[in-house]
A and B are shown apart, each in its own frame.
Chain A
Amino acid sequence: MHERRTILPLRTGLLFLGPAALFIGAFILLPFFWIAGVSFTNRSLTGATAANPQFVGLQNYLKLFDLSTFMNPGQFGSSLVITGQFVFWSAIVGQAVLGLLLAWFFYRRTGWVKESVQTLAIVAWIIPDVVVAFAWNAFLDYDGGTLNWLFGLVGLHKVDWLLAMPLLSIVLFNAWRGSAFSMLLFSSALGSIPPSYLETADVAGAGPWQRLKDIILPLIRTHIVTDLILITLWTFNTFGPFLLTGGGPAFRTEVVSVLTYRMAFKYFDFGTGSALGMVMMLINLGFALVYLGLLRRQGGSR
C-alpha cells in the first residue's frame, strides 16, 4: 500500500480546529478550573460578597462534610445516599436490565411487533424532559392516576406515589425514561454475534436461559461494561428528578444535582454550590477513569 498523502495541511487543519477549540476551552476547560477557585470563596449572587468574594479556604468543603449534620435530610451525606440508591435502582437495575431484556427478547426477530415496542421505548427516551415529567405527574396521581387505576383493577390499594414513595417514583420514572439507550446498545451488540455460535448451541439443545447465560452474556461483556458506566454517569448527573418532585417531599428525592441547584440558585450560595459541583466532577472523573482502565485492559488482551 502506498503511503497516505496528507489531505489537509497542518496549518489549515489547526485553522479548522480553532473555533471548536475556543468553545471547548471556554465552556468546558475554563469552568473546570473556575469552579475549583470559586469553591474556596464565599461568593454569592447578590450583596457584598458578590463583587468582593473572600477567600475562605476549605470552609465550604468542611461544611459539606460536617459529620454532625452530614446525614440530616437536605444535607450532603443524605443526598449522596439518595443519589446512590437512585443510580443503582434506576440505571443499573432498571435501565440496563430492562434494556437487555428488550434487546434479548426481540433478538433474531423482525416484524411490526418488534418495531412498535422498540419505537415506544425510543419515544419515551427522546421526548423532552418537562413533557415526560408532566405525563408522570398525572400517571402517579393518587386519585386519577393511571397507575393507581391499574392497581384498583387488580384489587390492590391505591398508593400516594409522590408523597409516600417519592424515591421509588423517581426510580421508576428514570428507568422508564432511559431504557431505550441500553436496548439500542445491546441490540447492536447482539447483532454482532455470529449466528453460527447460537446455531451450535441450538443443536446441542441449550435452552433460552442457558443460551443467554453461557453464550450471549460473555460475548457482549464489553458492551455491558460500556453501558453500565455511561448510564451510571448520566443518571448521576441528571436533573430530571427535579422536574417530577422538585427534590421533595422533605428532601427525600434531593439527588446531588438538585442539591447543587438549591444551594447555588435558591440560596445564592455560590461557594457551597461550587464545592458540590467540584465533588460531583471528582466522582465523574472516578467513573471515567474506571471506564478508560477497563477499555485499556480489554484493548491489551485482544
Chain B
Amino acid sequence: MKVVRHVLGRLAFYVASAVFAAVFALPLVWLVFAPFGAKARLSVALPDPFTLSNFGKVFANTFAVRALFQNSIIQAVGTMLLVTLLATLAAYALSRAPIRGRDALSYGLVLFSSIVTGTAAMVPIFLLIFNMGLIDTHMGVILVFTGGLLPAAIFIMRDFVDSIPRSYEESALVAGASPWGMFRDIALPIVRPGMMVVGVWTFVNVWGGFLVPFILLRSPTKMPAAVAIYSFYTEGGTPIITLTTAYALLYTLPVLALYLFVNWKYGFRFFGGIKS
C-alpha cells in the first residue's frame, strides 16, 4: 500500500512538472524550429527540409547585421560601462563615507525611479534629449538608459559593498594608502563580482529595451536589433517569418549565454537583500 502511494506520488509529480514545463516551453517551440525551415509557417513543425540558409540571408542583410553587431552592442556595452562605473563609485560612497541620511537616500532613489518610469516619462525624456541635440544618436539612448537603470544598480551594488568586511580597507589606510589608492587597489578587486552582476543586468536590460530607442532614434542606420527586427518585410508589407525568426534567435543568444554564465558562476537566485 505504501509502495503504491509512493509510486503514485512520484507519477503525479512528474505529470505536474511536465504540465508546468509545457506551459512555459510551448510558446517558444515555434521560435526554435521556424528559423531552420525553408518554408515560412506559423505552425510548429520539424523543419523539413532543414536549412541554415535563413541565417545566411540575415547575414547578407547589412542593415540587420549592423543593427545587431554594431548598434545594439554600442548601446548595451556603452550603458553597461557607464552604469557599472557610476553605480560602483556611488554605492561605495554610500557604504563607506559618513554621508548623512544615506539610507534614506538609497531607498528614496529606488522609490523615485519606480515612480518616474520610462513609459510615464516618455514625453519629458524625449524633450530633454531633443533639447540636448541628441535625438537620433547612440549617446542619447545610452544617457537615458543610464539614468533609468542607475538607481536600482546603486541599490544592488550597495547591498554588495555593505556585505564586505571593512578590515582590508582599514589595514590599507593604517599602512598609509590614500583614499583613492585604497579604493583602486583594495576595494575594487573585492567588489568585482558585484560589478559583474550589475554589468550583466544592465546589458540585458538595454539589449532587450524597445521603447527608448524606438522613440529617440530616427535613422535606420542607428537602430538596435530590438527595433530593426521589424524590418524583414516583403515589398507587399507582410513579414518574412523565416528571416525574422532567424534574426530573433541570433538576437536572443547573448541573453541566454549571459544567463548561463551568471547561473554557473554565482547561481541565479535571490538573496536576503531583496526581501521585505
Q: A-side interface residues toward B, CB under 8 Å?
A: 4-10, 12-17, 19-21, 23-24, 26-32, 34-35, 38, 102, 105, 113-114, 116-117, 120-124, 126-132, 134-136, 138-139, 141, 143-147, 149-150, 176, 184-185, 187-189, 192, 222-223, 226, 233, 237-239, 243, 257, 260-261, 264-265, 270, 273-274, 277, 280-281, 284-285, 288, 292, 295, 298
Contacts and interface: CB of A to CB of B under 8 A. Distances in A.
B204 A126 contact: yes
Interface residues of B, number: 93
A10 B99 CA distance: 6
Contact of A128 (B98, B123, B208, B241): B208
A218 to B, nearest CB: 14
8 contacts: A12-B179, A15-B93, A17-B93, A27-B144, A32-B112, A126-B204, A176-B27, A281-B116
Interface string B163-199: 0001001100100000110110000000000000000
A281 B120 contact: yes
B73 interface: no
A139 B27 contact: yes
A131 B251 contact: yes
Given A135-B248, A277-B122, 17 more contacts: A6-B97, A7-B170, A16-B97, A19-B89, A27-B146, A30-B124, A32-B115, A32-B124, A113-B14, A122-B268, A185-B275, A192-B275, A222-B275, A238-B119, A243-B210, A261-B122, A281-B120
Nearest to A12: B179
B65 interface: no
Contacts of B169: 7
Please list the 3 inter-chain residue pairs (A to B) with the smallest Cβ-Cβ separation, ordered nearest first: A27-B147, A13-B97, A144-B43
B255 interface: yes
A8 B16 contact: no
Contacts of A281: 115-117, 120-121
Contact of B99 (A13, A20, A23, A134): A13
Q: Which has the most chain A C-beta neighbours within 10 Å: B14, B113, B122, B128?
A: B122
Contacts of B256: 123, 126-127
B214 to A, nearest CB: 9
B74 to A, nearest CB: 17
A289 to B, nearest CB: 9
A52 B30 CA distance: 51
Contacts of B160: none
Nearest to A141: B42
A38 B124 contact: yes
Contacts of A34: 124, 127-128
B119 A123 contact: no
B44 A146 contact: yes
B42 A226 contact: no
A21 B248 CA distance: 36
Nearest to B129: A27
B251 A27 contact: no
A274 B99 contact: no
B169 to A, nearest CB: 5
A14 B122 contact: no
Given A16-B89, A138-B31, A184-B270, A149 B211 contact: no
Given A8-B93, A14-B97, A277-B121, A124 B24 contact: yes
Given A124-B28, A139-B27, A144-B43, A130 B210 contact: yes
Contacts of B60: none
Given A127-B255, A128-B207, A188 B275 contact: yes
A184 B269 contact: yes
A197 B9 CA distance: 23
Given A19-B89, A128-B255, A284-B115, A134 B248 contact: yes
